[in-house]
């Protein structure tokens, strides 16, 4: 199994519905390629260190995915390069699955703001190490 963190920087001018539709599109690509999506973390709009495509802010999204074949994630990269709603994307390959954990049980990984979160390493079966 190959584990990936797919970081997407969405344009800040997108409405919440458009941003969610974009995220859903990438989640569907993972599933269509036979991958497994473990979590989606939406960190919200943040200021960029420097301008990218004339944008000073971006909406940060991280997809935690698992693929059986490393070539399957290439489709994510290709679609992200062609999508005008994506400012920048980056796929990071991990040896172990690293999922976000939230201190408060009322927050979900898809709608959290990123404050007070820690990272937990998981082995292949999803058990905490």
pLDDT single digits (tens) 5-39: 999 999 999 999 999 999 999 999 999 999 999 99
CB 8 within 8 A of CB 80: yes
What residues does each domain of the chain span?
A: 2-94
2-94 belongs to CATH 3.40.50.620: no
102 forms bridges with which residues in the sheet?
Answer: 117
**84 alpha carbon, distance to own chain's centre:** 17
120 pLDDT above the threshold of 60 = no
Phi-psi sector, 28: left (phi>0), alpha (psi -120 to 50), beta: alpha
CB 5 within 8 A of CB 92: yes
pLDDT tens, residue by residue, 54-95: 999 999 999 999 999 888 888 889 999 999 999 999 999 999
How does residue 121 score in pLDDT terms, banded at 50, 70 and 90?
Answer: low
Which structure tokens are listed for 15? 């409405």
Q: Which residue has the tokens 């979900």?
A: 108
Q: Give the three-state DSSP class for 81.
A: helix
Pairing of strands 86-94, 2-10: antiparallel
- From residue 100, alpha-carbon distances to 14, 58, 73, 110, 114 in Å are 25, 20, 21, 10, 9
């Amino acid at each position: 199994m190959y584990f990936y963190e797919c970081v997407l920087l969405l344009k800040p001018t997108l409405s919440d519905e458009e941003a969610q539709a974009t995220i859903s599109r990438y989640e569907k690509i993972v599933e269509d390629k036979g991958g497994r999506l473990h979590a989606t973390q939406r960190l919200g709009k943040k200021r960029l260190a420097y301008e990218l495509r004339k944008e000073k802010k971006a909406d940060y999204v991280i997809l935690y995915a698992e693929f059986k074949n490393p070539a399957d994630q290439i489709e994510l990269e290709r679609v992200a390069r062609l999508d005008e709603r994506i400012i920048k994307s980056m796929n990071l390959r991990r040896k172990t699955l690293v999922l976000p954990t939230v201190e408060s049980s009322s927050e979900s990984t898809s709608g959290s703001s990123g404050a007070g979160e820690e990272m937990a390493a998981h082995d292949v079966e999803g058990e905490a190490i």
